Amino acid sequence: MADPCLSSAESLARRIRDGSLSPVEVVEAHLDRIDDRDGELNAYVEVLDDQARRAAADAERAVESGADLGPLHGVPVAVKDLQNVAGVPTTFGSKPMTDFVAEENDLFVDRLLDAGAIVLGKTNTPEYGHKGTTDNLVVGPTGTPFDASKNAGGSSGGSAAAVAAGLAPLAQGSDGGGSIRIPSAFCGVFGVKPTYRRIARPARPNAFTHTPFSQLGPHARTVRDAALLLDVMAGPHPEDPMVLPESDDDYLAATTRGIEGLSVAYSPNLGVFPVEETVTDIVDDALSAFERAGADVVDVELDYDGRTREEMEDAWLAGFRTNFGALAEDRKALGVDYRGEDRADATRTFVEAADAGAAMSAVDYQRADNVRTDVFLGVQDVFEEHDLLVAPTLAVESIDNAGDDEGNTVGPSELNGEPVDPLIGWCLTYPFNMTGHPVANVPAGLTAAGMPVGMQVAGPRFADERVLAATAAVERTRPWNDAYDTL
């Protein structure tokens, strides 16, 4: 019998429905594996042992009684610790927030529960998801299962590590600058950022966010599992003024479609990024999967009306810094003052971002949006002639955990002789947050050191089904599941 911890979510759901596998067995197997492995990885902030066991027993009774079962009935799912599960602490990766207990579920959690899923626990994240590595003052860094001394990436590092190591078949992430794709690349799993606001996200106090970068999405070991979770999470809600309207997209069905005749544009650096040669070589080799699936691969040069990488980086940082500046003010209502008495208990890079955001002028912000427009148009130009755009996910092979107990794990400040921002400058991910296009990370291969490398596959806005069809075709022609067997 297949190990439940390494089985696909789709297989688990099918076997639970037909009675050949008990949801109690599935949950217990995952809890045992978490006990065995997570001390090394640090993927979970909190494991909901008792709650998950009760839910599994309820799920088993529902199967036995012949009740109507949802598409994820009995399947464990992990939730990132930036999102709320009622009655459970949400720390946001922030030491001053460790006593905050959510009063209600986030919308997508309700959708998971309605689909029959079992919430297994909350996964680690940097403070408020502010950087591309996962480390904080609450529980410390999360390691990739391929080498726990290397960082899992961020900000959904706990979710990606949990899925890769078999500590959950599915996990939710959020992606405001690459936070699903970065850890998916470092942990060798599939992760997708849908078109902006494909998944409703009612928000207070600011539903009309001025930095519409972040989007919820799934981590999974297979494309079909991610599509299954996306089918459950997607859809509008009346309290989200920016959400896309109801669609008849069927993401699971999209994974069976071919990509014969599609034109795949390839950029090894998105026009502006320095990239390590090891990464480029592996992604170059992985392109053959598209050709074997019947697509045509064409090299392209991206241009953003002359904008430099430094301008793009600064524009993205402007958006997030203003968010953190406002967040720091909002948290005063909860008795937390990040720029005052609680500053010493916050990650240095987070409070520096909040300081910068508070000092930013409206004129500076408008200039950043002008850069964003040029980035959007540069990517749109590619889709005028091509069906997909492929690039490396990250510029580096791996990042060492800092090991200083201060939450200070960050990326390099220099790459190929060029200065880069250590929070996000080594990630080829954030341009697609600026533009809102759907984009996924696909495992492209392993380096000589055995570390996974990721490849981004982006599509036109609203073409989420095409991205899933293409990535599923890559998985069929260049499968990656064997990599998990030794973890």
By 3-state DSSP, what share of the chain in percent is helix, strand and coil, each rounded to 5? 40, 15, 45
7: annotated active-site residue: no
Phi-psi region of 360 (alpha: psi -120 to 50; beta: other; left: phi over 0): beta
156: annotated active-site residue: no
Active-site residue (options: 7, 22, 156, 179): 179
Q: 452-458 and 388-392 as β-strands: parallel, antiparallel, unpaired?
A: antiparallel
Residues 6+ apart with CB under 8 A from 166: 3, 5, 6, 30, 33, 37, 484, 487
How far CA 308 is from CA of 2, 311, 313, 390, in Å, comes to 50, 5, 9, 20
Number of H helices, E strands in the chain: 15, 15
3-class DSSP assignment, residue 189: coil
CB 278: neighbour CB atoms within 10 A? 16
Active-site residue (options: 22, 155, 156, 398): 155
Whether residue 8 is preceded by a cis peptide bond, meaning omega within 30 degrees of 0, is no
Strands (E) across 24-104 are located at 44-47, 76-80
- Which residue reads 């019947």 in tokens? 294
Contact assessment for residue 346 and residue 338, using Cβ atoms and an 8 Å cutoff: yes
Q: 190-193 and 215-220 as β-strands: parallel, antiparallel, unpaired?
A: antiparallel
CA distance 395 to 250: 33
Active-site residue (options: 8, 22, 80, 267): 80
Whether residue 169 is preceded by a cis peptide bond, meaning omega within 30 degrees of 0, is no
Please report, as a single letter, which amino acid is at residue 203: A
Contact assessment for residue 175 and residue 184, using Cβ atoms and an 8 Å cutoff: no
Contact assessment for residue 397 and residue 185, using Cβ atoms and an 8 Å cutoff: no
Contact assessment for residue 11 and residue 227, using Cβ atoms and an 8 Å cutoff: no
CB 104: neighbour CB atoms within 10 A? 11
Angle between helices 157-164 and 23-41 (to 10 degrees): 120
3-class DSSP assignment, residue 264: strand
CA distance 476 to 260: 14
- The residues assigned a catalytic role are 80, 155, 179
